[in-house]
Amino acid sequence: MTASTILIVDDEAAIREMIRVGLELAGYECLEASNAQDAHGLIVDRRPDLVLLDWMMPVTSGLELLRRLRRDELTRDLLVIMLTAKDDEDNRVQGLDVGADDYITKPFSSRELMARIKAIMRRSTSREEEESIEVAGLKLDPSSHRVFVDATPLEMGPTEFKLLKFFMTHQERAYSRGQLLDQVWGTNVYVEERTVDVHIRRLRKALQTELRDCGLLIQTVRGTGYRFSTTGVCA
Amino acid sequence: MTASTILIVDDEAAIREMIRVGLELAGYECLEASNAQDAHGLIVDRRPDLVLLDWMMPVTSGLELLRRLRRDELTRDLLVIMLTAKDDEDNRVQGLDVGADDYITKPFSSRELMARIKAIMRRSTSREEEESIEVAGLKLDPSSHRVFVDATPLEMGPTEFKLLKFFMTHQERAYSRGQLLDQVWGTNVYVEERTVDVHIRRLRKALQTELRDCGLLIQTVRGTGYRFSTTGVCA
DNA sequence: CAGAACTGTCATAAAATTGTCACTAAAAAT
DNA sequence: ATTTTTAGTGACAATTTTATGACAGTTCTG
């Protein structure tokens, strides 16, 4: 188990269960917050690897918190497992829609919990250090969340940034729209595939400066998807 | 939906559900088998993209079948979603441990089923890694979906790419137009055989560079069809 | 709460790809 | 040497696939 921290929102029973089972955790914490905003803030603060999110939180809504987590760049990649009541199918679907990685119905067995956590963590790519990436005169700095061509900063939205980041870390390879949705938007998100086209366009536009047109770095692969390649100019 | 085939093991209700929902499937099949071995054989035979595996099969055990699937090289990468009874927690855990990609509890909503399938299939598309093929100074890279002569990328349409890929993986052998249609265009597609000629020409043209004329690699076998052979220059 | 920034979808325009033809060139058969 | 087949070509019109601009609903930011 690679969890360095597991953070449980509003469900002491769950964590006790985990401890009982002997889940090897480098650390864990049980969090209580009166509203989604506070909870979100605390989570950002603690930087856990995994969040067990109780759907039936007394005060705030699990859905609301999950939305916030998925919206924020800082917590977007967080693994979130919902804890839902046994028959609460609507919420489950809703949760998956909003971007929960998985759910567990209460009451759950420790074995199931562990299996889920294992599966989820195996599935997710390990987060590594965020170093700035530089390709063909294009520099992307994850920490400052900015992109430069030579020295001039470029303007772009969060989605375009993430898209570019993915491309810069996965060059010279064609990706289908579906794969891009999966990688950039995240799993369990229903978005039209054509939406990718639009964001590609926005990104290409953003990569244009008076000096260089780095939008050419993003090549369209007909019938397949897109590819980021330095073969296409922007020297 | 990219499923070319979805195969349902022993659960007619599930497939009816999917049809009702309008899940766009290129094909599907409901399979019944008296034991795990037979079922495994049938699955190998059908080569589906996804298996919905009912845990409560009347005769054979879902677990046993899953084990077989994971053991066999041919079916190892198959996506498997278990269908389990609502309270059958032990089996769920067991299934995930043995290697199911996900599970759905019955009765499930069509939305949930679709969400799961979509997510699972998107996630998996990058599972197989194809290696680039290199022949006589000609390099075809499936991952980037490109072809190079030496280092210069070549331009060609999707069909020409597929055609070339087929030839490069099936060298030194003559194929009739009909065979090529089957292999490259896909079976049950009604297209004039002479269409192949046209695409052969387009491919030959695409393979021409100022330096080399790799179009010569594609030889015509009079009265029969075409053959890809390194005997024909482009050294 | 108002204004600015983003997002996901559409409708439409613009491009690229495709399957066929008609016609020419090349080979094989008479 | 001619006729008969079979393959190579260039041109097209139909279809598909992408690129774009506009929009309306939301989410941030003050």
Instruction: Give the pLDDT score at A36.
Output: 64
Measuring alpha carbon to C1', the residue closest to nucleotide C19 is B195
Question: Cis before residue A107, ω within 30 degrees of 0?
Answer: yes
* Contact flag, residue B222 CB and nucleic strand C, below 7 A: yes
pLDDT at B198 over 90: yes
Could you tell me if B187 and B199 are in contact, meaning their C-beta atoms sit under 8 angstroms apart? no
Q: Please report, rounded to whole angstroms, the spatial distance between the CA atom of protein residue A1 and the C1' atom of nucleotide D20.
A: 48
Average pLDDT over chain B reads: 74
* Contact flag, residue A5 CB and nucleic strand C, below 7 A: no
Tokens 């055990």 sit at which residue?
B61
Instruction: Pick B96's closest partner by Cβ from A115, A222, A231.
Output: A115
Instruction: Give the pLDDT score at B152.
Output: 87
- Which residues of B sit within 8 Å Cβ distance of A? 2, 86, 89-90, 92-93, 96-97, 105, 109, 111-112, 115-116, 118-119, 122-123, 125-126, 143-146, 153, 157-158
State the pLDDT confidence band at B159, using cuts at 50, 70 and 90: very high
**In terms of CA atoms, which chain B residue is nearest residue A110?**
B93
In this prediction, residues A185-190 reach a mean pLDDT of 71
pLDDT at A181 over 60: yes
State the pLDDT confidence band at A111, using cuts at 50, 70 and 90: low
CA dist B151 → A5, A175, B169 (Å): 47, 21, 20
In this prediction, residues A93-120 reach a mean pLDDT of 65
**In terms of CA atoms, which chain B residue is nearest residue A119?**
B96
Instruction: Give the pLDDT score at A57.
Output: 56
In this prediction, residues B166-193 reach a mean pLDDT of 89
Cross-chain residue pair B86–A86, CB shorter than 8 Å: yes
Measuring alpha carbon to C1', the residue closest to nucleotide D19 is A201
Instruction: Give the architecture (CATH level 2) of A133-228.
Output: Orthogonal Bundle (1.10)
pLDDT at A70 over 80: no
Boundaries of every domain in chain A: 6-123, 133-228
DSSP single-letter state for residue B187: S
Instruction: Pick A93's closest partner by Cβ from B86, B105, B111.
Output: B111
CA dist B215 → A147, B163, B230 (Å): 43, 13, 11
State the pLDDT confidence band at A26, using cuts at 50, 70 and 90: very low
For B78-99, the pLDDT digits (tens) are 778 777 765 666 666 677 767 7
Q: Please report, rounded to whole angstroms, the spatial distance between the CA atom of protein residue B160 and the C1' atom of nucleotide C24.
A: 24
pLDDT at B6 over 50: no
The nucleotide whose C1' lies nearest the CA of B222 is: D6
Could you say which of 3.30.70.100, 3.40.50.2300, 2.60.120.10, 3.30.70.1560 is the CATH number of the domain covering A6-123?
A: 3.40.50.2300
Instruction: Pick B112's closest partner by Cβ from A92, A174, A178.
Output: A92
Stronger pLDDT, A152 or A119, i.e. the higher one: A152
Instruction: Give the pLDDT score at A50.
Output: 74
Q: Please report, rounded to whole angstroms, the spatial distance between the CA atom of protein residue B204 and the C1' atom of nucleotide C17.
A: 16
Please list, residue by residue across A66-103, b when 16 or more beta carbons sit within 10 angstroms of its beta carbon and e when fewer do.
bebbbeeeebeebbbbbbbeeebbebbbbbbbbbbbbb
**Domain at B6-124: CATH code:** 3.40.50.2300
CA–CA gap between residue A229 and residue B174 (Å, rounded): 35
Please list, residue by residue across A20-57, b when 16 or more beta carbons sit within 10 angstroms of its beta carbon and e when fewer do.
eeebebeebebbebeebeebbebbeeeebbbbbbbbeb
Instruction: Give the pLDDT score at A220.
Output: 95
Could you tell me if B167 and B218 are in contact, meaning their C-beta atoms sit under 8 angstroms apart? yes
Percent pLDDT > 70 in chain A is: 54
Q: Please report, rounded to whole angstroms, the spatial distance between the CA atom of protein residue B123 and the C1' atom of nucleotide D23.
A: 32
Could you tell me if A179 and A221 are in contact, meaning their C-beta atoms sit under 8 angstroms apart? no
pLDDT at B21 over 70: no
